[in-house]
Amino acid sequence: MNTNYWPVDSNVDNIEGYPRIAEAAQYIRDNQIVAFPTETVYGLGANAHSDEAVAQIFKAKGRPADNPLIVHIAEYQQLEKLVAGISKQAKLLIDAFWPGPLTLIFPKSPGVLSDLVTAGLDTVAIRMPSHPVALALIRASGLPIAAPSANRSGKPSPTTALHVQQDLNGKIAGIVDGGATGVGLESTVLDCTGEVPVILRPGGITKEELESVVSDKIEIASNLLEKTDAPRAPGMKYKHYSPSAPLYLVDGEVDWIQSLINEKRKQGLKVGVLASSETKQKYQADLILNVGSRKQLDQVAHQLYYTLREFDQSHVDFIYSEVFPQLGVGVAIMNRLEKAAGHHWLIQDKQD
């Protein structure tokens, strides 16, 4: 398959009528799949009404069919057609955070969306992105667009069009290049179908920000890597975000982490370190990448996937990653790192 490439400046006049947007939208209407930028990561979009179109997403990504997709909309009127009800909490959150990096789970309207989108569940995950190119594509297509991240399943999510090309060139109809994404991590997924809203996937909107809007306390799912047969949101069941080399999370002093690095290098392995700007200069390894400052976790979130993909380009054999405070967006950062590492931790015995 020939993959079209459409560079689009988000600042162009009349972006919804821009010829490249119109061409990409036609592919969506023709039940082809197209990658496009959002404010979080690049998404791989398809007509959410069509089994034929949505099936191509799973094929291109190598994604398990029981992993539900997020539906992207551009108008509030679209939401009313797709869901069976909107709770009071959901209305408050929509007013506060849409358009933006918040996905809400609703009871779905029967017979409207492809069952492949919802993996057979009676609920649907929906968000309204804030990226002007994403909104223009949705409006130009006239359709709700089902869109997981535009990467091979299990790999780090793409934050540039180049990342999409590396993973999916020749497997999809086209890529709309709107430049690098902003947040760098996927949206927060919040289940609003119960009495108490529950975060199923932490993301760019934090628990504290959500609780500032709704009077009810927001809960976090007790196990974000559930082994259930029917995960209620993307990213809950399978290993994700992983570079090619084994990755371990290391919680300890720099000298102790350096001893681990030295041991691997003695075995002839090329070792990479994912470090903060505060500690980057203190390590000796084959590749040391600075993911940002511990004092600016938004910066770490923005750089995380880009950094994980850099390790793949360098062909390291083993990666050690520092850990970060689980405060605010740090919860989402550590959620992604834990999944990238397959929950493999090394923790220093402080009595040593």
DSSP for 170-215, please give it: TTSSEEEE--S-SS-SPPEEEE-SSSS-EEEE--SS-HHHHHTTSS
- In the annotated binding site, the residues are 40, 63, 67, 72, 123, 127, 147, 149, 157, 187, 201, 241
pTM above 0.85, yes or no: yes
Q: How far apart are CA 42 and CA 166, in angstroms?
A: 13
**Is the model more confident about 237 or about 195?**
195
Do residues 31 and 49 lie in contact, with contact meaning Cβ atoms separated by under 8 Å? no
Q: Is the pLDDT of residue 140 over 80?
A: yes
What percent of the chain shows pLDDT beyond 90?
A: 87
Q: Per-residue pLDDT for 2 more than 60?
A: yes
pLDDT tens-place string over residues 225-265: 444 445 555 555 555 788 999 999 999 999 999 999 999 99
> pLDDT tens-digit profile of 77-122?
999 999 999 999 999 999 999 999 999 999 999 999 999 999 999 9
Average pLDDT over residues 177-185: 94
The β-bridge relationship of strands 318-322 and 34-37 is unpaired
Residue intervals of the chain classified under CATH 3.90.870.10 are: 4-220
* Numbered ranges of CATH 3.40.50.11030 in the chain: 247-347
- Domain 4-220 belongs in CATH node 3.90.870.10: yes
Report the binding-site residues for L-threonine: 40, 72, 127, 147, 187
Phi, psi for residue 199 in degrees, rounded to 5: -75, 120
Pairing type for strands 102-107 and 123-127 reads antiparallel
**pLDDT attached to residue 228:** 45
User: CATH for 247-347, among 3.40.50.720, 3.40.250.10, 3.20.20.70, 3.40.50.11030?
Assistant: 3.40.50.11030
pLDDT of residue 239: 57
Binding site for ATP: residue ranges? 63, 67, 123, 149, 157, 201, 241
The pLDDT of residue 78 is: 97
Sheet architecture: strand order including 102-107: 4-7, 174-177, 34-37, 42-47, 145-146, 70-72, 123-127, 102-107, 188-191, 198-201, 219-220
Any idea which of 100-114, 140-154, 211-225 has the lowest mean pLDDT? 211-225
Q: Poorest-confidence range of 11-15, 28-32, 236-240, 291-295?
A: 236-240
C-alpha to C-alpha distance for 117 and 71, rounded to whole angstroms: 8
For residues 166 and 157, give the distance between their C-alpha atoms in angstroms, rounded to a whole number.
12
Name, in order, each residue with C-beta under 8 angstroms of 68's C-beta and a sequence gap of 6 or more.
Answer: 117, 118, 119, 121, 124, 125, 231, 232, 233, 234
